[in-house]
Amino acid sequence: MLFRLLLREVKMVAHDHSLLLTLLIAPLLYAFFYGSIYSYKTEEEVPIAVVDEDGSGLSQTLIRQIDNTQMVDVAAVTTLEKAKESMYYGHTQGFLYIEKGMEKKVLSLQQANMVLAVNAARFLPSSDVMGAITQVGLTVGAGVRLQYLQKQGMNTEASMQEVMPVTPDFRPMFNTRTDYGTFLLPGLLAMILQQTLLLGLAGGTAAEKQKQTFGAWMEMAGNNLSVALWGKGMFYFILFCCYAFFFLTVNFRVLHLQLLGNAWELALVTALFLLSLIPMGIFTGLLFRSQLLCTQLLAFSTYPIFLITGYTWPIAQLPEGLKFVSALLPITPFLGLYQGIVQQGAHITDRLPDLYHLCILWVFYTFICLLKMKYTAHKSPRPYAAV
Amino acid sequence: MIRAILHITLREWKRILTRPDHCLVLLVMPAFLFFFYAYIYEKQQAEDLPVAIWDEDHSPVSRQITFLLEQTPSIHITHAVSSQAELEQLMQSQQITGAVHFPKNLEKDIKSRHPVKVSIFTNAASLVPGKLIYKDATTVIVTAGSGVNLQKFMKTGMTEEKAMALIMPVSLTTYPLYNPTYNYQHYLVPGLITVALQMMIIMVAVLLLNKEWSEGTMDELRHMARNSAGNIIAGKTLAHLGVSWVNFVLITGIIFPFFALDHPGTTFHLFILFNFLALACIGIGLMISALAGDAMLALDVGLFYTSPAFVFSGFTFPRWGMPWYDQYYANLMPYTPFLDAFFKVYFMELPLRYAMPEVIKLLLFIGFTFFIAVFFLQLRLNKTVTHVIPLTAPGSENGGA
């Protein structure tokens, strides 16, 4: 019976070009399409302007060192007015102002000053530029101290030790380059998996109501709600297991992403995730009488869902009401487990609360889906009425 | 002609208010979604992130630095660990986001003029918290190092001013303009709202013509428009532009003031810019609707076209960091020039003239899409008049809500 329902679903999808697009083309297209944006993983060469009022050897060295960093591109050395205009037009992301007499001050043991103005309306480039230029400033400072100590008669080795008595040693873990792509891409692929499944499954279920084929679906399942649910769901489970496997092998390889944890544990977690999404998708679809409206409204769920999963913004920082909404989404515990296994080499046992959470959501959505199916079956016309 | 257009506009407003696939998307969803986005970032900044201390020195210096770390906004010390393995285990089980390690003999080495390294571990798989912890911890450690140097130089009889000049020969004063506190709500919410709005406009506009054909109401519309595609498009455009103004009022009159996101003095410029975006989106929707007879297919095309707008626009990840083909594709969406102009007009509070290159791009979108929409609609109108084809279209089974 389950197999007959699976075949029925295959037929239904094959005859509906919208479902075909959503279920067979969109997952692969989106995975490559979105993935390619972050294929370089990190931004480089953020353009800034420099206003060099000093024009000395030291300021030239400083500008050269800044330009040599991977993160900053000195796009122009210009006047203050032109530097501002360049930022206003969006050609540069900020400007560095070097005051007149900087070298003179440094040589006479007076503190000189530089001003860095960045366009912080864009977070990533501005914070990266500030980090890079601060680092260059510290290096220049260390160089000046080194020369001073050597002039005081200290040998090179001793003065090197004196220059930086306490230095921070940055050790980013699980994403050693702290790049945006490595951080975002695994989550993005999981999100594509979820959204295409929900759009397809909910849209297909809404179509059953719209075309009044719900009764035929139930009848084929022998009026057994669980059989109807998992018979229909089996097709999506198999299809999206294949997509998950494809993403984790082909897309991960193309995008140079690594799976640090155990693949079998990841397979188990992904299967659980898909099993909880299936009743959620059917339940959502049954709330609509029109496939079009269902697709239209679900299209707006992608960003809100992603933003409250804790992937980009910590769950602890969400308002209490949204923490509750976030806890109702299977992707929240899934991303906890998935991120741990994929990016941090963790085991399921390290994140047991997420595993229990996902299992509870599976049971919860199965229960409310069966309730909704029972209610819909009670209200819907018998199959002969549809004919 | 004007009368015909006004009649069509009135008719379209009635349709917007009575059809769920118009009303829910254009009038109900915006209020819900915009509040939702702003509410997510109510805390504005991530603070008090759990951090562990791995102190192998147990000296007054390590305790002093630990105290300073706790005073920073992002760091909250929650655990003490005794090895890197323990630290990694805590990160893997999501109990900490970062850790700071003080090596053995830290104080002794500082006093005996041996350089020491204080390690900052962050879970870089969680980029935002990791970067915040790194920034604050680095500031504390560099300040501590500078303090050590200051004391050393002053012990040699140097004045404080000169000692400071040696520690930081070239001080760097930074001005993060337009969002000095790196407030996440101020940064993300306006972008999320505008991208959702362009999506809403397009997702409804793709249904404007094909639904008329599939539901058999095009004949009535044609009579009102005196068989002119231009009149139909103009009437419908005016109606949807009017609804977009309602949403503009919702954004600038309610959401922005309620969440303190407003930039005084920018509303008028923003309104002008917003109209260009709304017209470009309506034009794209109408063009798709004129070309794709099947409403469901048109919706899928609209969904595929609009949903990546946020990431392609360069809002969170700059466009220059993307491969060339993605940069090219980004330029095929009206949200990309709108966003660039939005940054200038809204965040940077600049006059509209700075956004002229982007306005020209939006005008090109408007000109091109409206031309195609009118052209193909007129062709089809003429065809159905000449051959008296029944006013039905394929795909009608996917119809009404």
Question: Looking at A278-282, B120-124, B155-159, which range is the least confident one?
Answer: B155-159
Residue numbers of A between 154 and 183 with CB closer than 8 Å to B: 158, 160-176, 178, 180, 182-183
**Chain A residues touching residue B20 (CB < 8 angstroms):** 290, 293
DSSP sequence for B35-93: HHHHHHTTT-S--SEEEEEEESS-SHHHHHHHHHHHHSSSEEEEEE-SSHHHHHHHHHT
Contact between B196 and A112 using a beta-carbon 8 Å cutoff = no
The pLDDT value given to residue B295: 93
- Is the pLDDT at A303 greater than 50, yes or no? yes
Handedness of CA B46, B50, B54, B60 (dihedral sign): positive
- Contact of B307 with chain A, judged by CB distance below 8 Å, is answered with yes
The pLDDT value given to residue B387: 53
- Contact of A101 with chain B, judged by CB distance below 8 Å, is answered with no
For residue A380, name the pLDDT band (cuts at 50, 70, 90).
Answer: confident
The pLDDT value given to residue A381: 65
For B396, how many CA atoms within 13 A lie in the half-sphere containing its CB? 10
A235, A10 contact by CB (below 8 A): yes
**Chain B residues touching residue A122 (CB < 8 angstroms):** 315, 318, 343
Smallest CA–CA distance from B356 into chain A, residue: A89
Please give, rounded to a whole number of angstroms, the shortest distance from the CA of B265 to a CA of chain A.
17
Angle (nearest 5°) at CA A137 between A132 and A143: 125
Share of chain A above pLDDT 90, in %: 72
Q: What is the mean pLDDT of residues A343-359?
A: 94
Residue B58 to residues A303, B54, B68, B104, B131: CA-CA distances in angstroms?
46, 10, 15, 8, 27
Contact between A171 and B125 using a beta-carbon 8 Å cutoff = no
The span from the CA of B347 to the CA of B177, in Å, is 9
The span from the CA of B239 to the CA of B38, in Å, is 28
Q: What are phi and psi of A47, to 5 degrees?
A: -75, 130
The interface predicted TM-score of the complex, written ipTM, equals 0.89
Contact between A164 and B303 using a beta-carbon 8 Å cutoff = no
Q: How far is CA A353 from the centre of its chain?
A: 22
pLDDT digits (tens, 9 = 90+) for B367-380: 999 999 999 999 99
- Is the pLDDT at B398 greater than 70, yes or no? no
**Chain A residues touching residue B165 (CB < 8 angstroms):** 105-106, 109-111
For residue B144, name the pLDDT band (cuts at 50, 70, 90).
Answer: confident
Contact between A113 and B126 using a beta-carbon 8 Å cutoff = no
- The full set of domains in chain B, from first to last, is 2-41+184-398 (no CATH), 49-167 (3.40.1710.10)
Is the model more confident about B240 or about A134? B240
Please give, rounded to a whole number of angstroms, the shortest distance from the CA of B198 to a CA of chain A.
11
The span from the CA of A377 to the CA of B273, in Å, is 50
Domain ranges of chain A: 2-39+177-386, 46-163
DSSP sequence for A351-369: GHHHHHHHHHHHHHHHHHH
Q: What's the whole-number average pLDDT of chain B?
A: 91
The pLDDT value given to residue A109: 84
Q: What is the mean pLDDT of residues B32-47?
A: 93
B183, B45 contact by CB (below 8 A): yes
The pLDDT value given to residue A383: 54
Is the model more confident about A386 or about A296? A296
Smallest CA–CA distance from B350 into chain A, residue: A88
pLDDT digits (tens, 9 = 90+) for B234-255: 999 999 999 999 999 999 999 9
- Is the pLDDT at B207 greater than 60, yes or no? yes
Question: Looking at B22-36, B98-112, B161-175, which range is the least confident one?
Answer: B161-175
B289, B207 contact by CB (below 8 A): yes
- The shortest CB-CB distance from A126 to any of B21, B128, B176 is to B176
Interstrand relation of B98-102 and B49-55 (parallel, antiparallel or unpaired): parallel
- Contact of A151 with chain B, judged by CB distance below 8 Å, is answered with no
The pLDDT value given to residue B122: 94
3-state secondary structure of A222: coil
pLDDT digits (tens, 9 = 90+) for A69-107: 999 999 988 899 999 999 999 999 999 999 999 999 988
Q: What is the rounded radius of gyration, in angstroms, for the C-alpha atoms of chain A?
A: 29
For residue B110, name the pLDDT band (cuts at 50, 70, 90).
Answer: confident
The pLDDT value given to residue A21: 92
Q: Which residues face B77 on adjacent strands?
A: B51
- Is the pLDDT at B396 greater than 60, yes or no? no
The pLDDT value given to residue A140: 85
The pLDDT value given to residue A384: 44
The pLDDT value given to residue A382: 61
Residue numbers of B between 55 and 84 with CB closer than 8 Å to A: none
- Is the pLDDT at B283 greater than 90, yes or no? yes
For residue B150, name the pLDDT band (cuts at 50, 70, 90).
Answer: confident
- Is the pLDDT at B394 greater than 70, yes or no? no
Q: What is the mean pLDDT of residues A185-201?
A: 95
The pLDDT value given to residue B258: 95
Q: Which residues face A72 on adjacent strands?
A: A46
Report chain A's terminal Cα–Cα distance, integer Å.
22
Angle (nearest 5°) at CA B279 between B274 and B283: 150
Residue numbers of B between 201 and 220 with CB closer than 8 Å to A: 203, 207
Please give, rounded to a whole number of angstroms, the shortest distance from the CA of A300 to a CA of chain B.
8
Q: What is the mean pLDDT of residues B378-391?
A: 72
- Is the pLDDT at A219 greater than 60, yes or no? yes
The span from the CA of A94 to the CA of A133, in Å, is 12
Q: Which secondary structure element, helix H or strand E, spans residue B121, and what is its range?
A: strand B116-123
3-state secondary structure of B307: coil
The pLDDT value given to residue A239: 96
Q: What are phi and psi of A169, to 5 degrees?
A: -115, 105
The span from the CA of B292 to the CA of B306, in Å, is 16
Q: How many CB pairs under 8 A join A and B?
A: 347
Q: What is the mean pLDDT of residues A141-161?
A: 81
Q: Is B42 left (phi over 0), alpha (psi -120 to 50) or beta?
A: alpha
Tell me which residue of A184, A189, A146, A151 sits closest to A164, measured CA to CA.
A146
Q: Using the 8-state DSSP alphabet, how is residue A381 labeled? A: P
**CATH code reported for the domain at A46-163:** 3.40.1710.10
Q: What's the whole-number average pLDDT of chain A?
A: 91
A82, A58 contact by CB (below 8 A): no
- Is the pLDDT at A51 greater than 70, yes or no? yes
For residue A333, name the pLDDT band (cuts at 50, 70, 90).
Answer: very high
Residue B218 to residues A281, B284, B360, B392: CA-CA distances in angstroms?
35, 20, 34, 9
pLDDT digits (tens, 9 = 90+) for A7-46: 999 999 999 999 999 999 999 999 998 889 888 878 889 9
Q: Using the 8-state DSSP alphabet, how is residue A334 labeled? A: H
Q: What is the mean pLDDT of residues B64-75?
A: 94
Tell me which residue of A89, A87, A82, A90 sits closest to A51, measured CA to CA.
A82
Q: What is the mean pLDDT of residues A302-307?
A: 94
Q: Which residues face B174 on adjacent strands?
A: A116
3-state secondary structure of B153: helix
Q: Using the 8-state DSSP alphabet, how is residue A301 labeled? A: G
Burial A314-352 (b: 16+ CB within 10 A, else e): bbebbeeebeebbeebbbbbbbbbbbbbbbbbbebebbe
Question: Looking at A92-96, A131-135, A318-322, B395-399, which range is the least confident one?
Answer: B395-399
- The shortest CB-CB distance from A37 to any of B25, B122, B326 is to B326
- Is the pLDDT at A277 greater than 60, yes or no? yes
- The shortest CB-CB distance from B398 to any of A116, A162, A291 is to A291
Q: In this structure, how many other beta carbons lie within 10 angstroms of the beta carbon of residue A165?
A: 21
- Is the pLDDT at A139 greater than 60, yes or no? yes
